[in-house]
Each structure stands twice: as structure tokens, then as C-alpha cells.
Amino acid sequence: MNLAKLKKIRVYVALLFFVITLLLFLDIIHLIPARLTPYLLYFQFVPSAVKFFNQYSLLATGFLIVLILTFLFGRIYCSSVCPLGTLQDIISRVAITLKKNKLYQMFRDFKLLKYSILTVTILSLFSGSMILLNLLDPFSLAGKIFSNVFRLLLIPFNNLAALTLEQFNIYRVYPIELKALSWIAISFSSIVLLIIGIMSFTNGRLFCNTVCPVGTLLGLTSRLSLFKIKIEETDCSGCGVCETVCKAGCIDNEKKKIDFERCVNCFNCFTVCPSNGIVYKKSLPSFSNNKKTATDFDKRKFFTRLFIGVIGLSEFLRAQVKVIPKKKSTVPVIIELYPSPPGSESVERFYSNCTACHLCVAACPTHVLQPSFLEHGFFNILQPFMDNAAAYCTFECIRCTEVCPTGALLPLTVEKKTKVQIGKTIFVKENCIVETEGTECGACSEHCPTKAVIMVPYKNNIKIPEVKNEYCVGCGACEYACPTIPYKAIYVEGNLIHQIAEVAPQERLQQEIDYKEEFPF
Amino acid sequence: MDRRDFIKKSIQAGIILGSANSIGRHFNLFASQTPYPSNNYDLAAIKGGEPDVMFDKAIESLGGMKAFVKKGQKVVVKPNIGWDVVPEKAANTNPILVKRIVQHCYEAGAKEVYVFDNTCDDWKRCYSNSGIERAVKDAGGKMVSGDSERYYQKVDVKQGKKLTSTKVHELILDSDVFINVPILKHHSSTDLTIAMKNLMGNVWDRRYWHANNLHQCIADFTSFKKPDLNIIDAYYVMKRNGPRGVSKADVVLMKSQIISTDIVAADAAAAKLFGTEPEDISYIKLAAEMNLGEMDLSRLNINRIIL
């Protein structure tokens, strides 16, 4: 097979994965059926792995296939599937066009940094904290950039189009109201985009070989690859063109060596080599001829120390993520535990399975799901929370549970979803309009889909809300609708473990209607 | 305003012709030339049929849709699409009725017919699951979003006591004809929601109403712009757990409909139909006191049709 063709195939595959992923996040009018998401994101490494370990689902085996591919051919994932990788390639491509003759060159291998990051990330996962994965997983980082930067930039264009068309009485394109903005998510994502942008603009895939834990893990795996890209010394003319096109900076032309651990399988080198000097070659794992050098010894010592250090850290993290509900308070309203979204089963399960990719944030039709700052605690920063000030959870909507790629939100049927109680409602009578103004309000009860909030007779023939939490699903409709400011008179306090709400007994109304009877007026 | 004058004048003409009719029974020559049939009903109430069939009959008795919609006019139809539920749960206006109304508007020569609501639940789901989006599109009408503040323009409510200014959807402000199509149902805070309460879906900020004497605000906003026609859907009627309802068990099949240009009269009649006295509904009483319409049904000329 002509190896040069591999690059072309890689580019098409990468663009396909990139466009699919990008569209999922930019689908502001929700055209793509949510149920397709698990299939479209099947190969995304971290979401698939997280899902696999929490669900053992067949739909979560994508990461295994990626691992098998890596064992066979190296880090195929990095240049073909990873949306952050392709984003960097696009930036590098622009850089090359702008810089014209200044291309890549071999750069150093930040071993200490990359192994430390990977080790700390993995150990923090064992301790049950997702924070490092949330901040480093390439898919979730891409998701955050797509959702909090690109999507938010797209909305003004949509709205401009909508308002322009409206002048011609065309209402097909409609403006999208941003009901809440998470400044922390926007800032974080913009900074990440900036850093990754600069890194890829100057040094190609530097991020993937220094910071990215998935890159490092797949790199370690690729040490064992059956087929590796190598320089055939007999055929190599030593022209060094391959080094100039290597985004990963892993080709050393002088020594005629390729550091395959850092190779992202972009296949650029195949296309430029004038003498077939670069080949995909079968290579048996070569542990045995690993010479025991001083560096290897240092490495081992380093890992031991790191391990001990991280165990300590993980214990610290574990102590931090424990959810301890505080005591209840009245006016002003302080929510002690924000509910976790439907399908997450419990707050802790949500914390330990969500990688904060923000796909649910992009998919939520009401935008009640917003990236959190401290709502879920610092160690769960950026994981989505139910922002009932912005909107409320639509009773029969299951979109977030359908799109979640990590299984942090497990799929729910509409039937089940309408009974899952993610939180309970607390009524603060002292804040209520009925109490303070002495007039009818009932906005909370109106919006309640289960009649967990009902209006009961109160002073002067008016009605006041009463909460029946056995029927409450914690959707937050009452809290959203409540007109009191600055503190709501009714709000949702999360359940540590989701419960099942009862269904209010419904006796069919016995009303005989005689359609021939005269009107009562 | 021109159109309103026209209607007023034609009503006057009708009265003159009517009295002429009573003087000499052979004076039928002019009757056919008036836009109204000789019987000038203030309100039509009908029962016993399907929503579209009832509408056909009732609107005919009020002179047909052509009495309200003129050729080339821009019409806005405002049903209740507040909730993400199916038609049988009776939280939203019946889609069959909405479809028929849009068809009548076009038959009367309307240039364009727009339908919108500022929904409570997620608007796209409401539009879709209520069946109204499909129905309107099938009839050739256009669904418009009510979900963006950009569509709402600030207006003064001159007669308002509590609600003195509010932001109103541009379709309500720009259209030539405004047809209000509420559904009659129970409501947890105002007891009943009918035609006047349905106008709450024309404004952006509903919380203000709730926080500032809801009943008075409903009456106040009615004074801002009264619909040219109110068509009350009482086919499926939610008798409890309103306005959203919990299940189909809350619903009674009443197979009724009320049409009137007088929004207060329409609400009063619908309240009676529901089994409530109009004076027991605060906002109906307040609106009548503000002279926004006639609450006393005995003073109206009602066409009662039983199919």
C-alpha cells in the first residue's frame, strides 16, 4: 500500500470526527436527534472509558477499540478522532500558511511533566475526584471550548440573522435567548483555547505530548505497538524533510530516530519522504533489550515518590469531595446542596463520572443546565448544575440523559424521568407574595407539573402554596417562576441520592355531560 | 381604528336596518348588503360538536370570519400553548380549532396569519407537543417564537392601575387583526383561566404580574389592547389541577365553544359554563368595573346553538 495515501485518509477521517463533534455542540436549534449521540461519540476515549467503568455497556467499548488500534498502529486516536487534536491541527495549518517557510523541528520530550500529569490524574480518579480529568481530558476540553466559546459566538450571528429576516416577516430563524452565562466556564474555556492556540501555533502537538493525559497514556501504549513508524536507515537520504513536517516534533533526522511514543500518527512524514525512507514496520515489543541506564533508575525512583505523594493527595481530595449536607436555613435562601441532573442517580455518582464536557449544557433546551463555579464545590468545578434562576428542568424532557457521553447521566425513559426526584422543594413563607403583599400569586403551583405545590386557602379568601414533597421531582419550575426578589420564596434543595416520587392519586372526574342541555346563561 | 369605526358604523347600520325591519317586514332589500346578518349577536355559544364544526357554525352566526378579517390583512392568532402536554390533557388550546381558525382567516383574504405564545414550559416542546405547530403549518399559517425578549416592545398601559407599562410581543402591536383563542380551564391562583388571562402570554415579564396583584394586572392589561375576536375552546376542559394539569383524569369532555368580540362577556359566559359565577372571579369583576366589557350576560344578545 502506498503509505502516502494514509495521510489523505487520516485527514478525511479526522475532519469527519471533528465536524460531527463540533456540530453536536453547536446544534443550537437541536436538529440532531439526541439519541444518536452515543453512536457519534462512540470512539471518544475518556467519555467511553468513564462510561465503561460505570456502566459496562456495549456502547462504551469505543475506548477499548482505540486501545487495540494503539497496540496495533500507535496513537491513531490523537490525529483522527480527538476533536482537540484536530482543532490544534487546524491552528497549526493556519500557522504554516502564515509562516510559510518556518516549519516544525524536533523538540524535547517533557517526560517528567507528562508522566506526572498522567499519574496524578489517574490517582485522583482512584480517589474519586474528577477534577483533573475535567480540566485535562482532551474531549472535554474541546467540548468546553465548543460549548462556551464557539457556541456562544454562534448565537449572536443566529440572532442577527433572525432579526434581519424578521424585517421581511420571516420567522423561521428565531433568536436564542441566553438565560444565563457562566463566566467561569467562558473564562476557563477561552484561556484554554488561547494556551492551546499558542502552543499549536508555534509547536504543533506540544500540548498532546506534555499536558494531555490521554496522549501520554496512549503514548505509553504505543511503545508496545505491533507496527511502528520507523526510519529505514538504508533507504533514508537524510534530507530531513520529514522532521520539518512532524507536528509532534518526534522525528530526529540527525539520529534517524522516531520517538514513536510521541508520534500522533498524522502520517505527514510519509507524504514528504522522497526516498521511501519512512516505513510502517512490524516491531516486537522490546522490553528485553532495554538497557538499564541511570535515567531508567531515576524514572523508577521518580514514580515511586510520585505514587506516595499522590496517595496523600488523593486522600486529601477524597476528604474534600464528600458531600456533607449542612443545616437548613430560612431567609435569605442559601442552597446547601444543588441537585445533580436527572439520570445521575446520586450527587456523588454524578461528581465522580462527569468530565464536564458540557455537551448536556449545549443540549439542554431550557438552559437550566449551566457550568458550575462553586455550586457543586471547588473540586467539581465546571460540572453542570441545575440553574433554577435561569430556567427549570422540562418535566418530560430526557435530552441530557441521552447525550451524556460518559454515563454520568444514565439514559432515562420519559416514564421514569417523570418520577425521579432529584431534589425537594422548600417553601419560605416569609418571602411569599401572598404573605408579604396579601394578593394572589401562585406562580409556583401553576408551573408545578406534579402538583407537589398546591394552593390552599389562606387569610382573606386568598390562597397560599403548600408543598407535598412526596410528589416533588425537584424540577425547579416553582423556584424559577417565583417572582420574589432578591430571595425566592420557594426553592429546590438537592437529594444526595435520587429518589422516586409518588404519583398523586388521580380519580377520574365523574361528570356526566348532557350535550343537549341548555346553556347555564 | 378605521376598521373599528367601520365595525361600529356597520353595527349602527344594522340597528337602523333592524328597526326598519321591525317597521316594515318587506325591507329585506338592504339586509343582504350589510356585512352582518340581520341578527347582531354579541356572543355565540355552541355545544355538542367537534371543535372545527362548532367553530364553522358559530362564526357563521356572527357574520363569518370576513366580518373580522379583511383582504390583505395581517392576522395574529394567540392560542394558549403554555404547556408541554398533549391536546387531550387540555392545558393548551385544541389544535383542530386553531387550524380551522387559521383556515378561515385565509379564506377571508388574510395576507398572513401568525401564531405564537410566550409559553411557560420550553417553547419548542410546547409548540410541537400541543399539536398546534403542525396544525398551523398545515393550514398555511406561520408559527413565531415568543421566547426572545427581542420580540417584545415596551408599551404604556394607560388605564392600568397596577400594570402601567409592560413589554408586548411585536405581533400583537403590528397585526391588523388580533384573535384570542384561549382554552377554558381551572387555574390554581386565579381559579379560572379564559380569555383575559390568556393575554398574559402576550407579555415578556409575567413575574411582575404575580408580584403586583395578579387579578388587577390581568384586568389592566386587557385595557391595553382588546382582541378583535375571542374564541374560547371548551372542548376538553380541565376541571382541576390547572393550569398545567397532572393527567387526563383532570379533564372533562364538554364539547363547547364561546365566541365574542367582548372579552369580558366571553369570560363571564365561559365561567358559567365551567360552573362558576363570573363575579367570583376577581379579574372578571375588576375588568367589568373598568368598563372593559359586559359581565352581565342578561344584557347581551346571545346566540345559543346546540348541535
Question: Angle at CA A92, nearest 5°, toward A88 and A95?
Answer: 140
User: Which of the four pLDDT bands, split at 50, 70 and 90, describes residue B20?
Assistant: very low
Q: Is residue B161 less than 8 Å (CB to CB) from chain A?
A: no
Query: Which residues are registered as beta bridge partners of A282?
Result: A227
Which residues on chain B are in Cβ contact (under 8 Å) with A455?
188-189
pLDDT at B121 exceeding the cut of 60: yes
**How far is A445 from chain B, CA to nearest CA, in Å?**
7
pLDDT of residue B3: 52
A111-126 helix and A294-321 helix, angle to the nearest 10 degrees: 30
A521/B151 touch (CB, cutoff 8 Å), yes or no:
no
B247/A506 touch (CB, cutoff 8 Å), yes or no:
yes
A516/B206 touch (CB, cutoff 8 Å), yes or no:
no
Q: Average pLDDT, stretch B189-210?
A: 96
Helix (H, G, I), strand (E, B) or coil at B275: coil
A442/B252 touch (CB, cutoff 8 Å), yes or no:
no
**pLDDT tens, residue by residue, A8-52:** 999 999 999 999 999 999 999 999 999 999 999 999 999 999 999
Higher pLDDT, B301 or A2: B301
pLDDT at A317 exceeding the cut of 70: no
pLDDT at A298 exceeding the cut of 70: no
pLDDT of residue A179: 83
**pLDDT tens, residue by residue, A437-482:** 889 999 999 999 999 999 999 998 899 999 999 999 999 999 999 9
DSSP letter (8 states) at residue B27: -
B249/A508 touch (CB, cutoff 8 Å), yes or no:
yes
Q: Is residue A455 less than 8 Å (CB to CB) from chain B?
A: yes
C-alpha R_g of chain B: 18
User: Which of the four pLDDT bands, split at 50, 70 and 90, describes residue B6?
Assistant: low
pTM of the entire structure? 0.87
Distance CA B216, CA B213 (A): 6
pLDDT of residue A185: 96
**How far is A285 from chain B, CA to nearest CA, in Å?**
56
Q: Dihedrals φ, ψ of A315, to 5°?
A: -65, -40
Residues 459-478 on A with a CB inside 8 Å of B are 463
pLDDT of residue A186: 97
Helix (H, G, I), strand (E, B) or coil at A133: helix
Closest CA to B118 of B97, B149, B139: B149
Which residues on chain B are in Cβ contact (under 8 Å) with A173?
none
The string of DSSP letters for A337-382 reads SPPPPTTS-BHHHHHTT-----HHHHH-SS--EEE-SSTT-GGGTT
Residues 357-416 on A with a CB inside 8 Å of B are 365-366, 394-397
The beta-carbon neighbor of A443 closest among B114, B210, B297 is: B210
DSSP letter (8 states) at residue A147: I
Q: Is residue B305 less than 8 Å (CB to CB) from chain A?
A: no
Q: Chain-centre distance of CA A155, in angstroms?
A: 20
Higher pLDDT, B2 or B67: B67
User: Which of the four pLDDT bands, split at 50, 70 and 90, describes residue B39?
Assistant: low
CB A435 within 8 A of CB A388: no
Q: What percent of chain A has pLDDT over 90?
A: 72
A463/B254 touch (CB, cutoff 8 Å), yes or no:
no
pLDDT of residue B33: 40
Closest CA to A342 of A287, A391, A412: A412
Q: Is residue B176 less than 8 Å (CB to CB) from chain A?
A: no
Which residues on chain B are in Cβ contact (under 8 Å) with A394?
84, 121-122, 125
DSSP letter (8 states) at residue B79: E
Q: Is residue A159 less than 8 Å (CB to CB) from chain B?
A: yes
Which residues on chain A are in Cβ contact (under 8 Å) with B241?
451
The beta-carbon neighbor of B148 closest among A177, A482, A521 is: A177
What residue in A sits closest to B175 (Cα-Cα)? Answer: A169
Which residues on chain A are in Cβ contact (under 8 Å) with B252?
509, 511, 513
Distance CA A342, CA A362 (A): 16
Q: Per mean pLDDT, which of A84-88, A435-439, A460-464, B17-21 is the most reliable?
A: A84-88
Query: Which residue out of A166, A170, A174, A463 would a mutagenesis test of the B interface target, given it has the greatest number of B Cβ atoms within 10 Å?
Result: A174
Average pLDDT of every residue of chain B: 90
- Cβ atoms within 10 A of the Cβ of B233, count? 31
CB A130 within 8 A of CB A320: no
**pLDDT tens, residue by residue, A380-410:** 999 999 999 999 999 999 999 999 999 999 9
pLDDT of residue A322: 43
pLDDT at A289 exceeding the cut of 60: no
Q: What percent of chain B has pLDDT over 70?
A: 87
CA A326 vs CA A329, A332, A372, A496: distances in Å? 9, 15, 19, 12
Which residues on chain A are in Cβ contact (under 8 Å) with B48?
515-516
Query: Which residue out of B124, B127, B207, B277 would a mutagenesis test of the A interface target, given it has the greatest number of A Cβ atoms within 10 Å?
Result: B207
Q: Average pLDDT, stretch B203-214?
A: 94
pLDDT at B218 exceeding the cut of 90: yes
**How far is B7 from chain A, CA to nearest CA, in Å?**
26
Sign for the CA dihedral angle at A80, A82, A87, A91 comes to negative
Burial A330-361 (b: 16+ CB within 10 A, else e): eeebebebbbbbbbbbbbbbbbbbbbbbbbbb
Place of cell 433554577: A388
Which residues on chain A are in Cβ contact (under 8 Å) with B297?
521
pLDDT at A80 exceeding the cut of 50: yes
Distance CA A465, CA A460 (A): 15
**pLDDT tens, residue by residue, B163-180:** 999 999 999 999 999 999
Residues 171-230 on A with a CB inside 8 Å of B are 171, 174-177
Q: Is residue A504 less than 8 Å (CB to CB) from chain B?
A: yes
Helix (H, G, I), strand (E, B) or coil at A107: coil
User: Which of the four pLDDT bands, split at 50, 70 and 90, describes residue B120?
Assistant: very high
Query: Which residues are registered as beta bridge partners of A43?
Result: none
pLDDT at B264 exceeding the cut of 70: yes
Distance CA A251, CA B72 (A): 73
Average pLDDT of every residue of chain A: 89
pLDDT of residue B8: 55
Q: Average pLDDT, stretch A223-251?
A: 92
Burial of B213 (0-12, 13-18, 19+ CB in 10 A): buried
CB A355 within 8 A of CB A140: yes
Q: Is residue B213 less than 8 Å (CB to CB) from chain A?
A: yes
B244/A520 touch (CB, cutoff 8 Å), yes or no:
no
Q: Dihedrals φ, ψ of A393, to 5°?
A: -80, 120
Q: Is residue A487 less than 8 Å (CB to CB) from chain B?
A: no
pLDDT of residue B100: 98
pLDDT at B19 exceeding the cut of 60: no
pLDDT of residue B36: 45
Closest CA to A343 of A452, A416, A240: A416
Q: Is residue B266 less than 8 Å (CB to CB) from chain A?
A: no
Q: Is residue A73 less than 8 Å (CB to CB) from chain B?
A: no
**pLDDT tens, residue by residue, B64-116:** 999 999 999 999 999 999 999 999 999 999 999 999 999 999 999 999 999 99
A515/B306 touch (CB, cutoff 8 Å), yes or no:
yes
Q: Is residue B279 less than 8 Å (CB to CB) from chain A?
A: no
Distance CA B104, CA B65 (A): 6
- Non-local (6+) Cβ contacts of B139 within 8 A are B99, B100, B102, B103, B106, B113
Query: Which residue out of B166, B187, B210, B220 would a mutagenesis test of the A interface target, given it has the greatest number of A Cβ atoms within 10 Å?
Result: B210
A515/B213 touch (CB, cutoff 8 Å), yes or no:
no
**How far is B93 from chain A, CA to nearest CA, in Å?**
17
Q: Average pLDDT, stretch A102-117?
A: 87
Sign for the CA dihedral angle at A236, A241, A244, A248 comes to negative
Q: Is residue A265 less than 8 Å (CB to CB) from chain B?
A: no
Q: Chain-centre distance of CA A269, in angstroms?
A: 33
User: What cell was used for A99?
Assistant: 509562516
pLDDT at A311 exceeding the cut of 70: no
pLDDT of residue B182: 98
pLDDT at A290 exceeding the cut of 50: no
Q: Is residue A510 less than 8 Å (CB to CB) from chain B?
A: no
- Cβ atoms within 10 A of the Cβ of A35, count? 12
Closest CA to B118 of B52, B207, B225, B238: B207
A443/B48 touch (CB, cutoff 8 Å), yes or no:
no
C-alpha R_g of chain A: 28
Q: Average pLDDT, stretch A57-71?
A: 91
Q: Is residue B50 less than 8 Å (CB to CB) from chain A?
A: no
pLDDT of residue B23: 43
Helix (H, G, I), strand (E, B) or coil at B240: coil
Q: Is residue B207 less than 8 Å (CB to CB) from chain A?
A: yes
The string of DSSP letters for A396-422 reads T--HHHHH-SSSSS----HHHHTTEEE
**Looking at this protein, which amino acid is placed at residue A407?**
G
Longest dimension (CA), chain A: 104
pLDDT at B28 exceeding the cut of 50: no
Q: Average pLDDT, stretch B268-275?
A: 97
**How far is A382 from chain B, CA to nearest CA, in Å?**
24
CB A356 within 8 A of CB A382: yes
User: What cell was used for B114?
Assistant: 401568525
Which residues on chain B are in Cβ contact (under 8 Å) with A443?
189, 206-207, 210
pLDDT at A315 exceeding the cut of 80: no
pLDDT of residue A104: 84
B247/A437 touch (CB, cutoff 8 Å), yes or no:
no
Which residues on chain B are in Cβ contact (under 8 Å) with A176?
148
CA A435 vs CA A389, A445, A459, B207, B281: distances in Å? 22, 15, 9, 16, 21
pLDDT of residue A32: 94
**pLDDT tens, residue by residue, A408-431:** 999 999 999 999 999 999 999 999
pLDDT at A312 exceeding the cut of 60: no
User: Which of the four pLDDT bands, split at 50, 70 and 90, describes residue A55?
Assistant: confident
